[in-house]
Amino acid sequence: MGRWRQWLLAILVLLVVSGGAFTAGVAADRGGVIPGATSTEPSQLTDQFSVFWQAWALVNEHFVDRSALDPRNLTYGAIDGMLNALGDTGHTRFLTPQEASIQTSDISGQFEGIGAQLGLKDGYPVIVAPLDGSPAEKAGIRAGDIIVQVDGQSVAGASLDKVVGMVRGPEGTDVKLTVIHAGQGSMTDITIQRAKIEVHPVSWAMVPGTKLADIRINQFAATTNQELAQAIKDSRAAGARGLVVDVRNNPGGLLDQAVSVTSQFLSSGNVLLDQDAKGNRKPVAVQPGGLATDLPMVMLTNLGTASASEIFAGAIQDYHRGQLVGETTFGTGTVLSGYNLSDGSMLLLGTSEWLTPKGRQIWKHGITPDVTVSLAPGAAPVTPDNLKGMTSEQLRSSGDAQLLKAIDLLGAK
C-alpha cells in the first residue's frame, strides 16, 4: 500500500481553502481499507457488540423521527463516537467521503479562502494562526481567537471538519466569524472577504541600524528549506552577523522540512524523537551541511507556533543553540496516519508522537520560551516586509516587544 509523505500535526491545521486543505500530521494510506482490519466482527468482541446491535434495533424500531433513520449516517455517527472515546480530541477523527476528498487534495501553494489555520483547543475551534498578509489577518483575526459562530450559526460542539466546511468558500464571497480574542471575554464579529492566497514560506530583511537579519518562516511547505538556505546566504552577503528567526503564527507542515530547516542551525545531534504507540523511540538525526550553525540566533514564538515549528523550537532550546523569546507555543505533537475505508471515508488515527531531542513532550504542553514577552493588546508582529520600509526609530516605536527583545539580546552578544 502506497504512503503519502509523513506530515506532522497535532491539531488539524487547515488552510481554509476551496478545493483543498493544508494539513499537518498525516500519513495517509491509499490502499482502500485499514491494514489488518477485517470486515467481520472479531469473535472476542461478540458480547460487547451485541449491546450495540440491541441499541441499533431499538433506535430503528422506536425512534419517532423516521426520516432520521439513515443507516449510513447512523454508522458514521457510531464510528465518530468510537474515535471520540479515545480522548484524542482534535486529532484522531473520522472523515466522510466528502471530507476525505478535501483532506487528500494536493498542496499547490495557492489557496482560496480566508488564509487562517484552524485547530481545536479545549474542545473549541480556535485560530492557530492567520497567514501573513491574508484576508483573515487584515480583518483582525488573531492567533488564539476562539470561534463562536460562523455566519450567525453556533459552532458549539461542531467537529473541526464541519467548522472548516462552514468557513470555506469561493473567492470574493464574505464570511462572518464571531470570535472571542484571547484574554478577552466579549464576542467580536469580523467579516472577511475570501480570496486567492499564494503562500511564500520564507521572507527576510536586515534589521535597520544593526547587523542582524530577521528571517521569518511562516510554514513548513515543500520549498521552505530551499528558500531558507537562500535567505541565509543572502543575509550573510548583506553583512548579517546574527539572526532573529521568527516562527510566530507558523502552524507547521512537512516533517522532512522541519528536519532540514532545523539542520541549518545545528551541527550535530537529533532534531526530534519519534515515539510509537508502544513507547519505542526513534531518533531523527540532524542533517550535515547547515548554513547557519555559527551565527548567533534568537527565535520568536507565540501561541500560533505549532506542530513542525515546535519541533524546530524544541531542538534549538534543547541544545541551547539560541534563546526562545515570546509566548508558550500551541502544544501539538501527534503524527496522524490516514486509513481509507471501503466507501471512500477515512480514519485519521494518531499512531505516534514526536518529542524534543531530550525527550520532552510537546503535545498538550507546548514549548515555554526562555524569555517570556507578550505583545500589548492591539500590537502586531513586525514582519520582514514591514522592516524593509522602516527606520530604526520606527521599529522601536512599532510595539513589537518580542522582536525588540530579541534584537536587544543579540546586541548584547
pLDDT tens readout for residues 333-361: 777 778 999 999 999 888 888 899 999 99
The whole-angstrom separation of Cα 265 and Cα 368 is: 20
Q: Tell me, what's the pLDDT at 133?
A: 80
Mean pLDDT within 141-149: 90
| Average pLDDT, integer, range 133-156 | 91
Residue 277's pLDDT band (cuts 50, 70, 90): confident
Least confident of 68-72, 88-92, 262-266, 364-368: 88-92
pLDDT, average across residues 203-221 = 95
The pLDDT of residue 104: 54
Answer whether residue 265 shows pLDDT above 90.
yes
Strand boundaries in 1-145, DSSP class E: 14-17, 26-29, 93-95, 110-121, 124-130
Return the minimum-mean-pLDDT range out of 114-128, 133-147, 331-345, 372-386.
Answer: 114-128
Q: For the residues 265-277, what does the mean pLDDT come to?
A: 95
Give the pLDDT of residue 359: 96
* Cα–Cα dist 115/135, whole Å: 6
- 92 — alpha (psi -120 to 50), left (phi > 0) or beta? beta
Task: Give the pLDDT of residue 102.
Answer: 59
Whose cell is 498525516? That residue is 26
Task: Using the structure block, give the residue that is written with the C-alpha cell 520568536.
Answer: 300
In this prediction, residue 65 carries a pLDDT of 94
What letter does residue 254 receive in the DSSP assignment?
B
**What is the C-alpha separation between 215 and 201, in angstroms, rounded?**
11
Taking residues 72-90, what's their average pLDDT? 87
Over 70: is that where the pLDDT of 18 sits? no
Q: Is the pLDDT at 23 greater than 80, yes or no?
A: no
Which three cell numbers, joined as nine digits, stand for 38? 477485517
